[in-house]
Amino acid sequence: MQHDRAGAAESGNRYPLKSASLPPIPTSTLGSHAPLGWLLTAMDAIRRGEYGERDIDETLTDAVDVAVLDQQRAGLDVIVDGEMRRQDFVLGFYERLGVEPLPLPRRLGPEGHDQRGKWLVTGPLKAIDGLGIVEEYRYLLAITDRPTKATVPGPFTLAGRLELNGHYVDRFDAAYALAEIVNAECKALVAAGADFIQIDEPSMAVYPDRPRDLVALFNHTVAGVGAKIATHMCFGNYRGRPVAWRSYASLFPHLGDFNADQFNLEFANRELAELELWQEYGGDKELGAGLIDVKNYRCETPKEVAERVRVALRYVAPDKLWVVPDCGWSQTARWATVRKLRAMVEGVAIVRRELMG
Ligand SMILES: [Zn+2]
C-alpha cells in the first residue's frame, strides 16, 4: 500500500480528470479539512488585530499547505484546498455579498444550529469581486500535481442564512439572485483550469419538499459551466449535529433531472441506510458514497471501510462509485480526520485489489 501511494505521487504530470486516469473507485474528500490547532490560535490573534495583511495571508497559505499535505499523505486521489481560508463553511462569503450580520438569537448554552448567525439583506445581492474561490483554486493548482476539485457553496444553502428584509419574495427568489453569482464563479473557475466542481447544497437535503424547484434552481446554477459537476447534499454537521429528517427518499426520484454528474451523500452516519435506493434511482450518475462518519470519534478500520465499499458495490456499478466521507471535516479533530482518511484510502485499496483479481 505504501508502495502504491508513492507510485501515484511520483506519476508526475497533472493528469486531467478523466475516469481513465483515475484508479477504480476514486477517493476524495468533501471540502473543509480539520481545524488546525495553531490556526485557531492565530485566528484569535487576527481578531484581536495583532496580524498585518501579509501575516494573515502567510498564515492562511500555510494552513492550505497543511490541509493538502494531509490529504496527499493519506493517499487521496482527488485533492481539495480544505477551505482553510473560509470560516464555518460559508461565513466568509456573506461579507462579499454586502449583507449585514444580525445579532445571534442565542449565545448561551450548548453550541448548535440555532447559534448560526443570519444576515440582513439591504439591497440587490451581488458580489463585485466574486466569491474568492478562483483565487483559492489557483493556489491549489500551484501546489499539487494530483487531480483537484473546486468546492463552491450552492445558492439555496447560502440563501438560508439571509433575512430578506423585503428585497426578495422568498428563499427561492433570493437563491436565484445568488445563482447568478455562483454561476459566474464556476465559469471563472473553469477559465482558471477547473475541470471538476462540487456545488455544496446540504440545504436541499434538509428541505427537500419542493424537489422540482430544487432541480430547476440547481440546473440554472450550473448552466453553461464546462466541467464535471458534483454536488454534496447532507443533513447538517454544524457542531457535529444534524438539522434534518435524515432521508434522501423524497429527493432520489428526481436525481436523474439534476444536471450533476456525481452526488456525494451521507451514509456512514446512518448505518448505510438507503444505499440500496441507488440501484433504483442512480441511473448513469456517479455516487460519491459517504462511507466515513465525520461525527463519530470511533475511527473506522481499513477492513470496516472495505466491507462498506462491498455493500455499496451491491447497488452501485464499480465505474460509478467514488468513496468520500459523509461531510467536510470542519467539526472533527485533526488527528481523527487524518486517521479516518487513511482508513478510507486503505479500505478502498483492499477492494480495488479484489476487483482487479
Ligand atoms: Zn455536509
Task: Find the 327 Cα to ligand 1 centroid distance in Å.
Answer: 4
pLDDT given for residue 117 in this prediction? 87
Q: What are the residue ranges spanned by the domains of the chain?
A: 2-355
- In angstroms, the CA 181 to CA 185 distance is 6
pLDDT given for residue 88 in this prediction? 52
Task: Find the 31 Cα to ligand 1 centroid distance in Å.
Answer: 9
Task: Find the 294 Cα to ligand 1 centroid distance in Å.
Answer: 9
pLDDT, one tens digit per residue, over 166-202 is 999 999 999 999 999 999 999 999 999 999 999 999 9
Task: Find the 158 Cα to ligand 1 centroid distance in Å.
Answer: 13
Average pLDDT (280-308) is 98
Task: Find the 330 Cα to ligand 1 centroid distance in Å.
Answer: 10
pLDDT given for residue 17 in this prediction? 54
Confidence of residue 14 (pLDDT cuts 50, 70, 90): very low
As given in the structure block, the three cell numbers for residue 158 are: 447560502
Task: Find the 98 Cα to ligand 1 centroid distance in Å.
Answer: 25
Q: How does the average pLDDT of the chain come out, rounded?
A: 92
Confidence of residue 12 (pLDDT cuts 50, 70, 90): very low
Task: Find the 338 Cα to ligand 1 centroid distance in Å.
Answer: 18
Task: Find the 236 Cα to ligand 1 centroid distance in Å.
Answer: 6
Task: Find the 48 Cα to ligand 1 centroid distance in Å.
Answer: 30
pTM: 0.93
Task: Find the 135 Cα to ligand 1 centroid distance in Å.
Answer: 23
Confidence of residue 86 (pLDDT cuts 50, 70, 90): confident
Per-residue pLDDT at 310 exceeds 70? yes
Task: Find the 54 Cα to ligand 1 centroid distance in Å.
Answer: 32
Per-residue pLDDT at 7 exceeds 50? no
Per-residue pLDDT at 90 exceeds 80? no
- Location of C-alpha cell 432521508: 247
Task: Find the 29 Cα to ligand 1 centroid distance in Å.
Answer: 11
- In angstroms, the CA 255 to CA 269 distance is 21
pLDDT given for residue 203 in this prediction? 97
Classify the C-alpha dihedral 129-130-132-138 as positive or negative. negative
Per-residue pLDDT at 2 exceeds 60? no
Confidence of residue 1 (pLDDT cuts 50, 70, 90): very low
Task: Find the 37 Cα to ligand 1 centroid distance in Å.
Answer: 22
Task: Find the 201 Cα to ligand 1 centroid distance in Å.
Answer: 8
Per-residue pLDDT at 8 exceeds 50? no
Task: Find the 328 Cα to ligand 1 centroid distance in Å.
Answer: 6
280: CB partners within 8 A, 6+ apart:
252
Task: Find the 32 Cα to ligand 1 centroid distance in Å.
Answer: 9
Task: Find the 93 Cα to ligand 1 centroid distance in Å.
Answer: 17
Task: Find the 77 Cα to ligand 1 centroid distance in Å.
Answer: 20
Task: Find the 64 Cα to ligand 1 centroid distance in Å.
Answer: 20
Closest among 316, 326, 314, 309 to 269, alpha carbons compared: 326
Top-confidence residue, 291 or 88: 291
Task: Find the 53 Cα to ligand 1 centroid distance in Å.
Answer: 31
- In angstroms, the CA 324 to CA 149 distance is 13
User: Which stretch of DSSP H or E encloses residue 324?
Assistant: strand 321-325
Confidence of residue 92 (pLDDT cuts 50, 70, 90): confident
Per-residue pLDDT at 293 exceeds 90? yes
pLDDT, one tens digit per residue, over 123-173 is 999 998 999 999 999 999 999 999 999 999 999 999 999 999 999 999 999
Task: Find the 52 Cα to ligand 1 centroid distance in Å.
Answer: 33
Out of 19-23, 125-129, 227-231, 340-344, least confident range: 19-23
Average pLDDT (242-254) is 97
As given in the structure block, the three cell numbers for residue 153 are: 457553496
Percent of the chain with pLDDT over 70: 93
Task: Find the 232 Cα to ligand 1 centroid distance in Å.
Answer: 7
Percent of the chain with pLDDT over 90: 88
CATH 3.20.20.210 assigned to domain 2-355? The reply is: yes
Task: Find the 265 Cα to ligand 1 centroid distance in Å.
Answer: 8
pLDDT given for residue 21 in this prediction? 83
Between CA 68 and CA 76, with CA 71 as vertex, the angle to 5 degrees is: 130
Task: Find the 51 Cα to ligand 1 centroid distance in Å.
Answer: 31
Classify the C-alpha dihedral 185-187-192-193 as positive or negative. positive
Task: Find the 55 Cα to ligand 1 centroid distance in Å.
Answer: 31
48: CB partners within 8 A, 6+ apart:
none
pLDDT, one tens digit per residue, over 26-54 is 999 999 999 999 999 999 999 899 999 99
Task: Find the 267 Cα to ligand 1 centroid distance in Å.
Answer: 11
- In angstroms, the CA 184 to CA 221 distance is 9
